[in-house]
Structure 1
Amino acid sequence: MCMMVFLCMLMTLMHGGYLGEVVAKGEGVGVPEMQFVQDFVDFYNIKQVCLLQEETNSWILKLLRRSSVRSFTSIVGLKTQDNGSRLNASSHPSARAVTCRGLRIMVLRQEEDKILFRKIFTGAETKENWLLISDGEFHELLKSTYLPLDNMVRIANFGDDKQTATIWETYQVGEAFEQRLTTVGRWTRKGYNDLSNDSSPNGTAVTSTPLPPNGISISTAVTVKAKTMNHGVLEAPVDDPMLRRNDLSGLHIKCTSIEYSPFTILKYQDDGTMHIGGIFGKIFDLFQEITNFTYTCYKVPDNQWGAHTNGRWSGMVGEIARGEADVAVAPLSITQQRSLVADFLLSIMMSGYSVAMKRPTNEDYLWTVYTKQFEATAWIVTVVLAIATTAFVFVLLRLSRREESVTPSLSAFTVLGILFGQVSMNHTNSKSHI
């Protein structure tokens, strides 16, 4: 009976109108987890979903592959061959996961799940959206995985009764720092506490808030929206997580800069350190005050901004590219070549080029305005060449058998027309002799 319920639920998901790929470990995934996934996808209007499947011969994969709708396609993590041997998945999962363009969903309950997640969660995958399904001490399983400051991983931790789930986010300021957990949402299955009986199934806002499961409340720093979905009430964050991750306590930053008043004014302190003043220096100090990091700044040794010559970057960009500095505090121009080796903040200043012209005076409206375009020597050479060319054309046309009635005025008119680009050498009064 349970198998039939799960099969019906899975078919509902497959025909629910979503496009994309799914990733979940098949064993241990029950009806409540699948219902939560559907509500989560509906809440954010996600068009592509990826479920990570460990075993390639599972009945779930076969069912998905036989589906004519193909709403979901699995990404294989650890592949089992026919002879029972397991392939090394150190490079295989990440290469396959890159093909996914949607939300990655994976179960995180056992040591094998942790190992698989660590192998996949590298490089560009750390920038993608992830949803991990867990029902225990997930932070212990994630302890050995580096979750960078800008990661987009969310963990749905289910209670023992499978009727509620708490949504968490976690990040690290640096690889050597501890993970910082934040409660950002929760899901309550329909019928639990009788709080969603009167809700419409199309995702309208909830007027009453479910009781926090296990006494865990959502952080007040998170902007949460509550909706009643098809299978339960979902409270989930709708803000930018990077705006909440503003505590960088313990992080020490090395910064490089250059003297460029009034934007960066370098001031050397009595203890040998350097403080950056000016417009950009004040902005950097404001960041430090908000996020609580510490820093040490110095002047770039070669006094250069950053150019790529002979296969090597110079200046502040070069120090960032080589890891010698963490931040460059200066009004650096954002170029496509520089953006390949360094990340830029949002532009806070715009610069450009202008053409300056002298304001016209009364002298500019005299007839001499035409003669001022060239020096006297240039005008003399032009007149001499025009006279010589006129004489040459007159003689040439007189000696030609194909021309008649050639006068000096016609030759002069022809030469002037050529100079001004207005007259053709073909004349209407020219005749051809046979």
Structure 2
Amino acid sequence: MPSDWNNWILQTFDHFARNSRVYTSAIIAKDLTEDSSRSNKTNSPSVQLSACVGLRVLRLYTHNDRVLFQELFEDQRTRRSWLLFSHQGFPELLTPVYFPLDNQVKIVNLSHDGSIATMWETYQVSQKNKQRIVPYGRWVSNTNTEDLNTQSETIDAKTRTGNKARDSLHPFATLGPSKDFKVKARKMRFGVLETLEGDSVLRRTDLTGLYLECTTLEMPIVKYRVPLPQYEPFTILKPQADGKVELEGVFGKIFDALKEITNFTTTCHRVRDGQWGSVVNGLWTGMVKELSEGTADIGVAPLSMSVIRSTKADFLIGLMVSGLARFTSPLRDIVFINFKVVLKRPSNEDYMWSVYTKQFEAGVWGVLALLTVVLCLSLYFASRCSPRGQRLSPSDAFIVGTGMVFGQGSTLRIERTSERGVVLMFLLLQVLLLAFYTSNLVSALTVGPPLPPMKDLEDVYKDSSITIGFTRGSTIANEFNTDNPLYRAILQRLRDEDLVMSPEEGVERALKGGYAYMAWEYFYKMNFGGECGAFLLPPSYFPHQASIALQKDSPLVPILNKVLLDIQSVGLLQKWWMELNVARTDCSALVTAPIELKTVLTPFLLLGCSLLVSLGVLAAEVVVYRNGRPIAV
């Protein structure tokens, strides 16, 4: 058969196998090796078998068989399920082969008469560790079913070899390999097949001998302006004498639980550049960089999951998801994560020059001034057109009218009906002005000025006096680089000095005014929940899950995920998250406080300026009077 037919035959066989739902690829090592030697390098056994997606079966008895299997197994395209038939010496025969922790290889050892077959699994926690061979199941022909019960007890005892003591008092003892794995028996045509239930990889939770280099980022206890309750945040790093750090906090507890259950060892260090991980000028930074370069095996911190980060690292199950922590089913053990805009809350100090004029809008003040002028002119003409009584000059009419607006009476005798009507209009205006102005002024001095009329991030962007920023190296840097017109416009306006190195620095800049900080909502409320000098806009942005990250394609992911689910099932995650509850200050509560000098400085300055103007006018009048006085002879 021509060698160029191989791909066609494999694809045709694959098509029929998919339709029949049962597919076994039986490999004859001799034929496959000979065919490979006759073909070129591009038609290697791995290439020939890459289209086969079912169980691969291979006889493994000789050194050449092992060499062929090693070539096929080390190729990512042909590293799927394998069933190897071998003799009792297979452990020594397979010693040179590296079996990753997540491999799906089963080894069958037949008895001399072919009536009993024992099935084994082998794996290594790392390339530096020795192979571990554990029993998986057995097949017994119908002629040997009388020995089934005895052999079942033998295999079940072997599966427990090396497990922890069931009577251990440690809280994690019941989560590890000490669990009994169920054995499933199936009667077949020629015998009985017994195998362990479930995924083989998930049973490999004993990682003794595995060493992991951990990278982490500290999220410290933050005390800013007001005293905050002490609490354990997500990661607390304690320096060690060798330059490493000891990891504590919630993620430290989770990591310690993983170590206790699986028995691996580790040392942790601070991430070199102090960043989470994002793409800057085409290069990765932070923890993601260390994971992708291999300088760290695992990143322990609430690292946000994103599509671009997933190209360089794998994540465990989400320990934090988008939203705010509610501790309600079915996510009662998960803390939620999203981002909100932090802005400075306005205060009376911000309106030092307008604290006594902002009660009315500019249009209202304009109407009041116009109405005052009209009434003063009316009073003037009413006094002039009357045939009797005191006639007012324009200055007298203005002084009398303005004084009435401010609640000041007059010593002039108002006897004519027209003049009294104008005076009544002045008094009515004064009553209305006093009622509305005083009520608004008292409220403003009591509860402070209202929040800015901003609803979302777009309103903040439209205000050119406010700069938008976020933490350097966080996942937001990649989220802004999308097709969203608003996000792209914000990214184009962003300057390097708009980025901050920590949430504390970001909130500090926001409290100074003119800066909008994109903060992780949950962390902000825990650390700055008592800070009433800032507020959050209602909309949430960039919902994410956050968890522990490992190197890309790490075989540890399914195993550690299984352990995390076991920890969650006993309620430890919920307990640790609930310990993070922090009492927050109700910024809407009314608090009586002395009025500061800045608040009353405006009227004092106005009075002082009026006094100076009065003295100036007096000086001018004296000079004019002296110059115009007749000289005595």
Q: Same fold (TM over 0.5)?
A: yes
Quick one: distance in 2 between partners of 1:253 and 1:177?
13
Alignment-derived partner of residue 279 in structure 1: 250
Match of 2:216 in 1: 257
Map of 2:307 onto structure 1? 336
Residue 219 of structure 1 corresponds to which residue in structure 2?
Answer: 159
Counterparts of residues 69-80 of structure 1 (less than 5 Å)? 77-80=32-35
Q: Secondary structure at 1:80's aligned position in 2?
A: helix
Residue 240 of structure 2 aligns to which amino acid in structure 1?
A: Q
For the 8 Å contact 1:46–1:103, the answer to whether it is kept is no
Distance 1:295 1:154 in 2: 31
Which of 36, 39, 49 pairs up with 2:24?
Answer: 49
Counterpart code for 1:324? T
Match for residue 269 of structure 1?
A: 240
Structure 2: 5+ residue stretches without partners: 1-15, 161-179, 221-232, 322-336, 344-357, 367-633
Cα gap change, 1:145 to 1:91, in 2 (>3 Å): farther
**Secondary structure of 1:248's match?**
coil
Going from structure 1 to structure 2, the CA distance change for 1:216 and 1:284 (only over 3 Å counts) comes to: closer
| CA pair 215-149 structure 1, distance change in 2 beyond 3 A | closer
How far the C-alpha of 1:216 sits from its partner, in A, is 9.3
Identity over the aligned pairs, expressed in percent? 41
Letter in 1 for 2:277: G
What is residue 178 of structure 1 aligned with on the other side?
130
Measured after TM superposition, the shift of residue 340 of structure 1 is: 1.8
Question: Which residue of 2 is the match for residue 143 of structure 1?
Answer: 95
Helix, strand or coil at the partner of 2:70 = helix
Superposition pairs of residues 118-137 of structure 1, within 5 angstroms: 118-125=70-77, 128-137=80-89
TM-fit CA distance, 1:332: 1.0
Q: Check conservation: 1:255, 1:328, Cα contact below 8 A.
A: yes
**Distance (Å, rounded) in 2 between the aligned partners of 1:80 and 1:112:** 15
| Number of residue pairs the alignment of both structures matches | 289
Alignment-derived partner of residue 209 in structure 1: 149
For residues 209 and 301 of structure 1, the distance between their equivalents in structure 2, rounded to whole angstroms, comes to 59
Query: Which SS does the other structure have where 1:165 is aligned?
Result: strand
Question: CA 1:101/1:80 → structure 2, altered by over 3 Å: closer, same or farther?
Answer: closer
**Is 1:106 matched with 2:68?**
no
**Offset from partner CA, 1:8-32 (integer Å, 9 cap, x none):** xxxxxxxxxx8259xxxxxxxxxxx
Structure 1 residue 146 displacement after superposition = 0.2
Q: Distance in 2 between matches of 1:299 and 1:91?
A: 47
Q: Report if aligned partners of 1:185, 1:218 keep a CA contact under 8 Å in 2.
A: no
Counterpart of 2:193, as a letter, is: L
- Structure 1 residues 90 and 329, CA gap change in structure 2 (3 angstroms): farther
Residue 171 of structure 2 aligns with which residue? none
Higher Rg? 2
Aligned residues: CA RMSD: 3.4
Is the contact between residue 126 and residue 152 of structure 1 (CA under 8 Å) also seen in structure 2? Answer: no
- Conserved? CA contact 1:188–1:210, under 8 Å: no
Paired with 1:251 and 1:315, the residues of 2 have a C-alpha distance of: 24
Deviations 1:310-363 (A, max 9, x none): 332211011010001111001111122222221211112212346899xxxxxx
Match of 2:338 among 352, 357, 362: 352
Q: What is the DSSP-based 3-state SS (H/G/I as helix, E as strand, rest coil) of the residue aligned with 1:19?
A: helix
User: Given the superposition, is the C-alpha separation of residues 107 and 242 from structure 1 closer, same or farther in structure 2, using an over 3 Å criterion?
Assistant: same
Alpha-carbon offset, residue 49 of structure 1: 2.1
AA paired with 1:138?
A: F
> How far apart are the structure 2 equivalents of 1:19 and 1:348?
40
Give the superposition deviation at 1:116: 0.7
- Give the AA of the match of 2:204: R
Contact map agreement 2:141 2:192 (CA 8 A) in 1: yes
Deviations 1:44-87 (A, max 9, x none): x973322223344xxxxxxxxxxxxxxxxxxxx32438xxx655
Deviation by residue 1:154-209 (Cα, 9 ceiling, x = unmatched): 111111111111110110011121100101100001222457xxxxxxxxxxxx63
Match in the other structure for 1:189 = 141
Higher relative contact order (CA 8 A, sep 6+): 2
Do the aligned partners of 2:214 and 2:269 also contact (CA within 8 Å) in 1? Answer: yes
The amino acid that maps onto 2:55 is L
2: CA distance between counterparts of 1:53 and 1:213? 35
Q: Unpaired segments of 5 or more residues in structure 1?
A: 1-17, 22-44, 57-76, 196-207, 358-371, 381-434
Structure 1 pair 95/155, CA: closer, same or farther in 2 (3 Å)?
same
Aligned partners of 1:54, 1:127: CA distance in 2, in Å?
17
Deviation of 1:376 (Å): 5.6
Counterpart contact for 1:78–1:88, Cα < 8 Å: no
Residue 292 of structure 1: aligned partner: 263
- Contact 1:263-1:281 within 8 A present in 2 as well: yes
SS class of match (1:290): helix
Could you tell me which residue of structure 2 aligns to residue 322 of structure 1? 293
Instruction: Write out aligned runs for 1:383-394 (5 A).
Output: none
Asked if 1 retains the 8 angstrom alpha-carbon contact of 2:135 and 2:155, the reply is no
1:104 shift after superposition: 1.7
> Residue 72 of structure 2 contacts residue 79 of structure 2 at CA under 8 Å; is this kept in 1?
no
More displaced 10-residue stretch of structure 1: 180-189 or 269-278? 269-278
Q: What SS does the aligned partner of 1:133 have?
A: strand
Residue 154 (structure 1) aligns with? 106
Could you tell me how far apart the structure 2 residues matched to 1:215 and 1:238 are?
14
Which residue does 1:235 correspond to in 2?
A: 194
Report the Cα offset of residue 229 of structure 1. Answer: 1.2
Distance 2:252 2:154 in 1: 46
Give TM-score, length-normalised by structure 1: 0.60
Q: Structure 1 pair 131/292, CA: closer, same or farther in 2 (3 Å)? A: same
